[in-house]
Amino acid sequence: MSVEILQGLLIPFVGTSLGAACVFFMKEQLNPLVQRGLLGFAAGIMVAASVWSLLIPSMEQAVDSWGDVLSCIPAVTGFWAGILFLLLLDYLIPHQHLNSDESEGMKCKAAKSTMMVLAVVLHNIPEGMAVGVLYASWYNGAADITLGAAIALSVGIAIQNFPEGAIISMPLRAEGLSKVRSFVYGVLSGVVEPVGAALTIIFASIIIPVLPFLLSFAAGAMLYVVVEEIIPEMSEGEHSNIGTIMFAVGFSLMMVLDTTLG
């Protein structure tokens, strides 16, 4: 695995870790309005990344094998596979969301702090896959994927991981955990990203023809997280329009990153 790939896989993890470190510098829990804005920002980045970095390249890569007319087949197939995969994980993995007292997934007696971390881990699985499959495409010589495009996605995911790290560590601190434990939990929630990305690269390198399917698979998985989890959370309570505005900011930023660096 090249140095460029290793660096790219670690960029999103660094974003999560820096966000989790906010627990050492901020005394109060994040304001609900700020939380909604950060969630909207993260959702915007994920949606833009799904379209520009994953779905469009998936169809472009499939043209040679499937032709112009049928190039959408791998994209649609992989997209639905990603949706169903996250639906399955959502059902199997016990987790609890930020502003909820009810757990989801399989029944489990784990502490609320653990359940909240698992919820973020569930979010991070498709993000790690997305980064991994884009670097795998570049590494295997996909003509339409540049190193700049892969870096743009890593940076975009890292930017949205920063508030995500804070959103997990700050509430844990408010729940009574020490600052160190809250930070560690926040960092651990992001470990799944480089691990998932590395596994995706290994798999994609062995079976190169599946790359278009993997790109759209990651897109479907990310969009499932956005629609099922993030958008409802960012729309709770009054002044939910802040989430919508920040969604547009995140979407625009990721679109600019992808088009300028890619």
Residues 91-126 have pLDDT tens digits of 888 777 666 666 776 777 766 667 777 777 887 888
Read off the pLDDT of each residue in 37-44 and give the average, rounded to a whole number: 87
What does the pLDDT read at residue 239? Answer: 62
Say if 42 falls within a structural domain.
Answer: no
Q: State which H helix or E strand residue 184 sits in.
A: helix 179-206
Say if 44 falls within a structural domain.
Answer: no
What does the pLDDT read at residue 112? Answer: 67
**CA distance between the termini of the chain:** 21
Average per-residue pLDDT in the chain?
84
Confidence of residue 143 (pLDDT cuts 50, 70, 90): low
**Better-predicted residue by pLDDT, 62 or 29:** 62
Say if 116 falls within a structural domain.
Answer: yes
CB 223 within 8 A of CB 83: yes
Quick one: how far is CA 196 from the chain centroid?
11
CB 82 within 8 A of CB 220: yes
What does the pLDDT read at residue 69? Answer: 77
**Better-predicted residue by pLDDT, 87 or 102:** 87
What does the pLDDT read at residue 262? Answer: 63
Q: What is the CA angle 105-106-108, rounded to 5?
A: 115
What does the pLDDT read at residue 216? Answer: 93
Say if 179 falls within a structural domain.
Answer: yes
pLDDT digits (tens, 9 = 90+) for 184-241: 988 988 888 898 888 888 887 776 778 889 899 999 999 998 898 888 888 876 666 8
Say if 169 falls within a structural domain.
Answer: yes
Cβ neighbours around 206 below 10 Å, total:
9
**Better-predicted residue by pLDDT, 149 or 245:** 245
In 3D space, the residue among 219, 218, 188 whose CA is nearest the CA of residue 201 turns out to be 218
Say if 120 falls within a structural domain.
Answer: yes
Read off the pLDDT of each residue in 116-144 and give the average, rounded to a whole number: 81
Say if 208 falls within a structural domain.
Answer: yes
**pLDDT value at 44 more than 80:** yes
CB 149 within 8 A of CB 94: no
- Alpha carbons 244 and 37: distance in angstroms, whole number: 8
Q: Which residues contact 195 (CB under 8 A, 6 or more apart)?
A: 128
Cβ neighbours around 97 below 10 Å, total:
18
Q: Nearest 5°: phi and psi at 104?
A: -120, 170
**pLDDT value at 172 more than 90:** no
What does the pLDDT read at residue 223? Answer: 93
Say if 36 falls within a structural domain.
Answer: no
Angle between helix axes 3-20 and 112-139 (nearest 10 degrees) is 160
Number of domains in the chain: 1
Q: State which H helix or E strand residue 142 sits in.
A: none
Range of the domain at 82: 3-26+49-261
